[in-house]
Amino acid sequence: MTIQSSVQIGNVIRNAVVFNVKNWLGDMMNSDSLIQSVQDFFAVLEQRKIDYVLVGGIAILHYVEGRNTQDLDLLMAMSSLEKLPELKVSSRDADFVRANYNELQIDVLLTQNPLFKKVHSEYSSVQKFLDRDIPLATVEGLLLLKLYALPSLYRQGNFARVGIYENDIATLLHYYKPDMPSLLRELSGYVNENDLSEIKSVVSDIQNRIKRFKDESR
């Protein structure tokens, strides 16, 4: 399934926000305003010729159905981020910036991280997405980012997010059958041996589950 309009992308984010019980305790944002913010933000990126790559849950929606997300995730250099003074930064570290454009939450993965830079330059392509041409991470690029993040999420004990990431990985592996040995070799240059071993174990487990699913469905 490919989402064809920024109104639809706004609906995906709006629905994820509206149906998140945690958000029910506060003032709910105006859903029409959120959709408008999505449209406006992509227009700003295009008008200012901002160099970015769309990743995360919205990018995965280009390849598979059923993904839900409350924010936009972008790969971007700090120099590009500085061209967007409208963004209100709420947190930042060496590799990530979280900000808001009106009601829209935006997570920026900074390309000063070597793997993020690699995905930005070598695992992305401009594709027809929304109502315009958008630089989008490839399936392989999305897998590299998801796998790279897993060991850290395990250490943090963030198992809700681990579940989301592992499901994304499983879905992409099932539908696209990428060359995982090559991707794991690529990833080995950006993680330590312990993390790589853990990632390989996760991939093997997912592949075995996919095989069992296929065997049972015959």
pLDDT in tens, 30-79: 555 666 777 788 889 999 999 999 998 888 888 887 666 667 899 999 99
Domains of the chain: 6-137 (3.30.460), 141-216 (no CATH)
Determine the Cα angle at 32 with ends 26 and 36, to 5°: 115
pLDDT digits (tens, 9 = 90+) for 176-195: 999 999 999 999 999 999 99
Tell me the H-state helices in the chain.
6-18, 31-47, 56-60, 78-81, 114-122, 139-156, 159-176, 180-187, 193-216
Q: Other C-beta atoms within 10 Å of 113: how many?
A: 17
Measured in whole angstroms, how far is the alpha carbon of residue 137 from the centre of its chain?
A: 9
pLDDT tops 80 at residue 7 = no
**pLDDT digit string, tens, across residues 117-143:** 999 999 999 987 756 788 999 999 999
In whole angstroms, what is the distance from residue 174 CA to residue 171 CA? 5
Residues 100 and 117: their CA atoms lie apart, in Å, by 23
